[in-house]
Structure 1
Amino acid sequence: MYDDLQTLENPALRSYLHLPESLQGMVVHRPFDSAATYPLKEWDVITKVGDVPIDDEGMIKLGDTLRVRFPYLVQKLAEKDTVPLTVFRGGKEWKINLPVLRQRPLVIPELKGSYPSYFVYGPIVFSEATTDLIAVVYHNRENAAMLGMLTYIGSPLIARIGDKPAFPGERLVVVPAPFFPHRLSKGYGNPSWQVLKTVNHQSIKNLAHLVDVLRDLKDEFVTFEFDTRSGGESCVFPRGEIVSATENILNDNGVRSQGSADVMKIWTAKTERATK
């Protein structure tokens, strides 16, 4: 349950909501989902989880003496990914079944022990932003200047920490390292930590989408535009040259694969289609 809630202890808040004196519960400050079909609405008061009353501090009683926060019972009662709640709305109590997510959807997720996906295109490396990557900046004093720079330019790596995806599958595609040495990148600044916004004016949804777009490009040039409030630059490359240079760049830098297995399935589909 990832809705934002607040306590019902303030008298003015109770008066504003025109609540009966005896009613207790937690106020829905911001529902997790704004869709019309989502059961919780702003200013709903959650009064019960299952049949157990919730007090104005968000606590429930277990036995005669033990008080715990009500989400404890959410985990116990959730069946088929829903939990039964009672809410007070518009002067009436309503029974609802709230969808329960096992994992909070985040546009910048955790790796949780897995390896990050990546894709090399000419001298530039792309990956998806994770909290593990951002932690490198936060936990290394030498990167303090980088953190200040990201904040100054309004980088989504800072602005969107904790955000849920704006649409299904949204991820931030980031350049995690400097260019590999090659004449194609001559004159461009270090793109490290930049978040990719568009390729040839097409908005990029995630790393898999980026690879899909690059695979199907037919334009003479490929243009990468990054997501910054100020500063930064766009990088333009001759498409044919950057594609043909990739293998040599990988060999020169001891990189065994152009990308992780998940995205290489997308990239090699180009070759498979061409041979059919």
Structure 2
Amino acid sequence: MAITVASCWFNALASTSTSRYTVSSQRLFSASQIPATRLVIPKAVSQSQNPRKRTPKEHTHKSSPEKEANSQKISRRSRDERKYSDADNRSGIKKTEKPQSTAFKSFGTQRKSAKGFMGNLTDQQAETAKIQDAAFLNAVVKVNLTILNQTPQFIALILHLITLFLGKSKGSLQVQEGIAFMIGDGKLLTNAHCVEHNTQVKVKRRGDDTKYVAKVLAKGMECDIALLSVENEKFWKGAEPLQFGHLPRLQDAVTVVGYPLGGDTISVTKGVVSRIEVTSYAHGSAELLGIQIDAAINPGNSGGPAFNDQGECIGVAFQVYRSDDVENIGYVIPTTVVSHFLDDYERNGKYTGFPSLGILLQKLENPALRACLKVPSNEGVLVRRVEPTSGASNVLKEGDVIVSFDGVDVGSEGTVPFRSTERIAFRYLISQKFTGDTAEVGIIRAGDFMKVKTAMNPRVHLVPYHIEGGQPSYLIVAGLVFTPLSEPLIDEECEDSIGLKLLTKARYSMARFKGEQIVILSQVLANEVNIGYEDMSNEQVLKFNGTRIKNIHHLAHLIDSCKEKYLIFEFEDNYLAVLEREASSAASSCILKDYGIPSERSSDLLEPYVDPIGIGIGENQVMDDNDLGVGDTPPITNSEFGSDGLQWA
């Protein structure tokens, strides 16, 4: 998916193909200002388009205004994310939502010219000629990727996923294109969404007709950055890597380079920096510093560099903002985020992620609220929830007021000073830390000021936004197909199929320990051994033979070590499924053969089971919904302060 971030935005704006995410407009602007706003990741430019068809049920669900209104009560993504999409349309809009002509509207340069931003044609031609001859353009390379034709849609149906991954659809491949650029030391930089599901990556230099095989060294899903390497020395002959520049200022000129819409020659668009702030990253479901520009970004720009007037790279194009009321709003990953990614890779030999405090914060603008908490001045944010898996869980408590972070004062609106005359969201300071670092937090607790130190670690998601390794875990027991609940699965299944209760848990529950998963029965492969259970699907399994399930590996371990006569599965809503152990074992091989499945479990479940560290819950301890945090836990999102004044940091 080399072009997911750039192409998702581009195709969401320039294509009617199926998109991965939908984004509402409630974060950047109020609903009254932009009633129909979308953030899209331009969709990858494919040489063989074969969009996945939706079922009539899905179309009906999406087109019904009543159901759409109800679905917003439990959003599939944070409200900020719904505004953005990858440049390649991975998080784009459903093709039923907007006609193609309207989609292209947001990326046109004609409107921009009409507003006086483009200048006259003669000046454009002269300036383009200068840019065309610029040496730094030679560092931009075209990326060709061979990927599975069904990514990531096949994740929704575990059986389909199994057959696709294990060779049933080896012919279902397509070639997509993206952008990368040289950064020295034999390395290339691109978007993570461009290479997320690739089976082969090739790169081609400007003016060359030879493609070279590239290796993916690291992928940062949160920051949507991937690091590539090319071992063939011929590729680097005469190459001059790009130089990174400083974070630009407002109104600074910016030039975006790429191969939009699948073109064979390099394309250049120019604009200015219109905003710099903490931004929702559509692909990574994270909030990091972003540069907003008015230069056109289209499918095929994903992963391409953005330059200042000095020819220095000031960031990576990765997503766009879709709306009926605005146009030409694109986003660039700034060099500060890129440097963090590269430093992380150098430190650890891999990408470890951006750390989090794992706390839910509330603004303290109200004087009465500050007085009640004994906060003497207009400062600080209130801690309303602390995640059990965060490093701060041992030092911060509900009711604490954070007034400083590493010596930087935190305002009552949750902002901190940024450069000379600007302020930025408090979580910007958090994103500057690395995994394993320690932060000093100044707090007011019951009127007393104190400083505490907390470890910084990546956030643990109960329902992951991306599947590690690209292939989800699965376990088949007598035709019952189990898998962990994940965002890719939720995105592909309609909400009616997932069920409101399971969706609520996915949105409102916290992981109590690292490694915890919501394990569901995805579907049942009909056989006489499982008569009566054929219609079960998307049901959460809570216990096996009386033991609470921690994750899918734990379930596999319990089944493998079971010596009882019966296999007893307890599901949500007190539903029970019982199988005879010996009959189930005997029928398993026949079921796999009948359905053409090579293995009863994914390869990761063949490894010895290791009990999660710090679980703190007994094997047979009974837990109800309150133990899981359902119903009394605030929504788990990475959204900015909304109308409720809450923010995850």
Alignment of 1:44-193 (within 5 A): 44-77=400-433, 80-102=436-458, 104-112=459-467, 114-137=470-493, 143=494, 145-147=496-498, 150-151=499-500, 154-155=501-502, 157-177=503-523, 179-193=524-538
Alpha-carbon distance between aligned partners in 2 of 1:259 and 1:199, rounded to the nearest angstrom: 17
- Conserved? CA contact 1:108–1:162, under 8 Å: no
CA distance in 2, matches of 1:14, 1:37: 23
User: Structure 1's 111 and 79: CA in aligned 2 closer, same or farther, altered over 3 A?
Assistant: closer
Q: 2:380, 2:414 within 8 Å by CA — same for their partners in 1?
A: yes
Q: Relative to structure 1, is the Cα distance of residues 36 and 248 closer, same or farther in structure 2, using a 3 angstrom cutoff?
A: same
Counterpart of 1:219 in 2: which secondary structure? Answer: coil
Structure 2: how far apart are the matches of 1:191 and 1:206?
20
CA contact (8 A) 2:525 2:534 kept: no
Change (3 A) 1:172 1:80: closer
CA distance in 1, matches of 2:588, 2:382: 55
The range that moved more, 64-73 or 160-169, is: 160-169
**1:158 Cα deviation (Å)?**
2.8
The answer to whether the Cα contact below 8 Å between 2:395 and 2:453 also exists between their aligned partners in 1 is yes
Equivalent residue number for residue 62 of structure 2? none
The one of 229, 239, 242 aligned to 2:584: 242
**Residue identity opposite 2:426 in structure 1:** F
CA-to-aligned-CA distance 1:38-88 (integer Å, 9 cap, x gap): 211222221111222111111111232121112212222557332122112
Summarize the alignment of residues 22-37 of structure 1 with structure 2, pairs less than 5 Å apart. Answer: 22=377, 24-33=379-388
Change (3 A) 1:266 1:253: farther
Q: Among residues 591, 598, 604, which one is paired with 1:256 in the alignment? A: 598
- Gaps (5+ residues) in structure 1? 138-142, 268-276
SS at match of 2:607: helix
Name the aligned partner's letter for residue 447 of structure 2: G
Q: CA deviation at 1:266?
A: 4.5
Residue 127 of structure 1 deviates from its aligned partner by 1.0
For 1:111, the aligned partner's letter is H
**CA offset digits 1:95-152 (Å, max 9, x no partner):** 11122222x2122222346210111111111111111111122xxxxx45425xx22x
Measured in 2, the distance between the counterparts of 1:105 and 1:37 equals 13
3-state SS of paired residue (2:364): coil
- How far, CA to CA, are the matches of 2:553 and 2:433 in structure 1? 37
CA distance, structure 2, for counterparts of residue 23 and residue 38 of structure 1: 27
Rate the CA distance shift 1:111–1:85 in 2: closer, same or farther, 3 A: same
Q: Which amino acid aligns with 2:364?
A: L
CA pair 237-128 structure 1, distance change in 2 beyond 3 A: same
CA distance in structure 1 between the partners assigned to 2:527 and 2:485 by the alignment: 25
Letter matched to residue 126 of structure 1: F
For the Cα contact (< 8 Å) 2:416–2:426, is it kept in 1? Answer: yes
Contact 2:374 2:446 in 1 (8 A): no
> What's the CA shift for 1:255?
0.3
Contact 2:388 2:513 in 1 (8 A): no
Alpha-carbon distance in 1 for matches of 2:392, 2:359: 15
Q: Is the 8 A contact 2:479 2:526 kept in 1?
A: yes
2:360 equivalent in structure 1: 4
What is the aligned residue count? Answer: 251
Alpha-carbon distance in 2 for matches of 1:203, 1:79: 31
Distance change >3 Å, CA 159–CA 63, structure 1 → 2: closer
Aligned partners of 1:63, 1:182: CA distance in 2, in Å?
Answer: 66
Distance change in 2, residues 1:238/1:162 (3 Å): same
Deviates more, 1:205-214 or 1:180-189: 180-189
Structure 1 distance, partners of 2:487, 2:536, is: 19
Secondary structure at the residue paired with 2:374? coil
Residue 526 of structure 2 contacts residue 534 of structure 2 at CA under 8 Å; is this kept in 1? no
Evaluate the alpha carbon distance shift between residue 192 and residue 37 of structure 1 in structure 2; reply closer, same or farther with a 3 A threshold. closer
Q: Give distance in 1, aligned partners of 2:486 and 2:577.
A: 24
SS in 2 for 1:195: strand
Query: Residue 107 of structure 1 contacts residue 162 of structure 1 at CA under 8 Å; is this kept in 2?
Result: no
- The one-letter code sitting in structure 1 at the alignment partner of 2:443 is V
Report the 3-state secondary structure (helix = DSSP H, G, I; strand = E; otherwise coil) of the residue aligned with 2:462: coil
% identical aligned pairs: 29
For the 8 Å contact 1:118–1:128, the answer to whether it is kept is yes
Does the 8 Å contact 2:388/2:511 carry over to 1?
no
Q: Over the residues paired in the alignment, what is the CA RMSD in angstroms?
A: 2.4
Is the contact made by 1:59 and 1:69 (CA closer than 8 Å) also made in structure 2? yes
Q: TM-score, normalised by structure 1?
A: 0.82
Q: Displacement of 1:36 after TM fit?
A: 10
Aligned match of 2:566: 221
Unaligned runs of 5+ in 2: 1-356, 610-649
Indicate if the aligned counterparts of 2:565 and 2:581 stay in contact, CA closer than 8 A: yes
Match of 1:140 in 2: none
On the 8 A contact 1:23/1:47 being kept in 2, the answer is no
Query: Does the CA contact (< 8 Å) of 2:436 and 2:457 recur in 1?
Result: no
Rounded Cα–Cα distance in structure 2 between residues aligned with 1:220 and 1:93: 60
Q: Equivalent residue for 2:540?
A: 195
